[in-house]
Amino acid sequence: MGHGTSLRSNLFLATLGLSLLGAVMVYSATYRDYGAHYLIVRAAHIVLGVVIFAVVRKIRYTTWRRVYPAFYLAVLAALLLVLVPGIGTEVGGARRWFDLGFLSLQPSEFAKLAAIFVASFALARYRPGRKFPVGALAAVGLLFLLVVAEPDFGTSLVILSGVGGVLLASEVRTRSLVSLGAVSAVLLVGVMLLEPYRRQRFLAFLDPWSSARGSGYQIVQSMLAIKSGNLLGAGPGAGERVAYIPEIRTDMVFALIGEELGLIGMLVVIGVFVFVALAGYRIALGAPTTAARCVAAGITTMLTVQAVFNVGAATGVLPLAGMTLPFVSYGGSSLMVSFAAVGILYRISEDSERVREVDAGASTSEDTDSGRRDGRARDPRAVRGRGARRAGGHG
């Protein structure tokens, strides 16, 4: 088994392990009130997620380049429809879901992938000196605004972070990156300050104990739960002894991990996410084309930022942003998109390995070709071109 095979296999196993841990945590958070209901639903989500991974890993990333406009338009239509009363389901003042009976779909989760595809395939063709793909960024901005309108600040932040990963992997100049980053930062601050409840969340993060019965309640309860877990935790199923934490099976599931599995459990989970991030960026660095590199970097940044903000919010290190913990938190759409993302990374890794094999084979055959006796060095771009075409084309 080659190193690339081992890396992508371990990436899948790591994310599968996180999803199974999520099933245990979801059951622990809900069994007192709902019995095995949420465990069964969660198990169905995992099975569906693994099936999606198996399908997506068979799709060449160049196929996404052909179909992403249709995918984008479908997501855009869904984001518009979900805002319509009677079509979208409203929960807690937010209209984010389609209730299909057997499954709730959250279009904003799919918007994360749509934004990464749009940015990646536009920026892959960009070179310094050419016209900047403003249209592609405007298309991403439209997704962002529709998600903010639901409202869903956390997912809108993830969309921008994924596109940020794409930009860093592209050939956009540093000056342009700084300008885009500044604009994004101003936009995010504006979105945060416009809504009173978002302002309260941010102020609560600065001093949660001053509003422990109000806007700081969730943070305080989370920190109390984590503190009570000590080193080894209270054990699975023994959580919520000292604190009641709203949204514990979704946004605050890491607090339950801290309470039931302790510091050791939290460090293991953080370690797994560090591996996922390193594996994803390594796949991006070895990608055979600019488009593949941008897609891999965007996906990895998306998952990493979600994990960082979820863990940071639960521990009081970062403001509450309403982000789920990838693979662990309850949510069918989130799990499906996360497994699809891993499937895309898996296929890019496979295609990269095929290109390297073609390069090595061509190098060996040309080095031993008796007809080539002039001693000139072979142009490596020629082989890379052949390999890239066989493995999925240029960016």
Q: What is the 3-state secondary structure (H, E, C) of 180-203?
A: HHHHHHHHHHHHHHHCHHHHHHHH
> Can you tell me whether residue 90 is helix, strand or coil?
strand
Return the pLDDT at 139: 95
Per residue in 4-18, pLDDT (tens digit) is: 678 999 999 999 999
- Where on the phi/psi map is residue 140: left (φ > 0), alpha (ψ -120 to 50), or beta? alpha
| pLDDT band at 57; cut points 50, 70, 90 | very high
324/26 Cα distance (integer angstroms): 13
Q: What is the mean pLDDT of residues 327-335?
A: 94
Q: What is the pTM of this model?
A: 0.87
Q: What is the mean pLDDT of residues 292-296?
A: 95
* Residue 203 or residue 293, greater confidence: 293
**7-27 burial, b if ≥16 CB within 10 A, otherwise e?**
bbeebbebbbebbebbbbbbb
Q: Are 118 and 67 in contact (CB under 8 A)?
A: no
Return the pLDDT at 391: 41
159/72 Cα distance (integer angstroms): 13
Share of the chain above pLDDT 70, in %: 88
In single-letter form, the type of residue at position 353 comes to: E
34/227 Cα distance (integer angstroms): 27
Q: What is the DSSP string of 18-31?
A: HHHHHHHHHHHHHH
Q: What is the mean pLDDT of residues 223-236?
A: 88
∠ Cα 74 76 79 (to 5°): 110
* Strand ranges for 22-127 from DSSP E: 89-91, 94-99, 104-105
Q: What is the DSSP string of 191-252?
A: HHHHSHHHHHHHHHHH-GGGGTTTTTHHHHHHHHHHHHHTTT-S-TT---SS---TTTTTTT
Per-residue pLDDT for 394 more than 50?
A: no
| pLDDT band at 392; cut points 50, 70, 90 | very low
> Can you tell me whether residue 111 is helix, strand or coil?
helix
Q: What is the mean pLDDT of residues 210-235?
A: 85
Cα torsion through 329, 36, 16, 100, rounded to 10: -70
In single-letter form, the type of residue at position 59 comes to: I
Q: Specify the pairing of strand 89-91 against strand 94-99.
A: antiparallel
> Can you tell me whether residue 87 is helix, strand or coil?
coil
Per-residue pLDDT for 203 more than 80?
A: no
345/351 Cα distance (integer angstroms): 10
> Can you tell me whether residue 386 is helix, strand or coil?
helix
153/328 Cα distance (integer angstroms): 20
Residue 169: other Cβ atoms inside 10 A: 26
Per-residue pLDDT for 365 more than 70?
A: no
For residue 203, what are the CA distances in angstroms to 208, 210, 219?
Answer: 8, 10, 12
Per-residue pLDDT for 344 more than 90?
A: yes
Residue 349: other Cβ atoms inside 10 A: 26
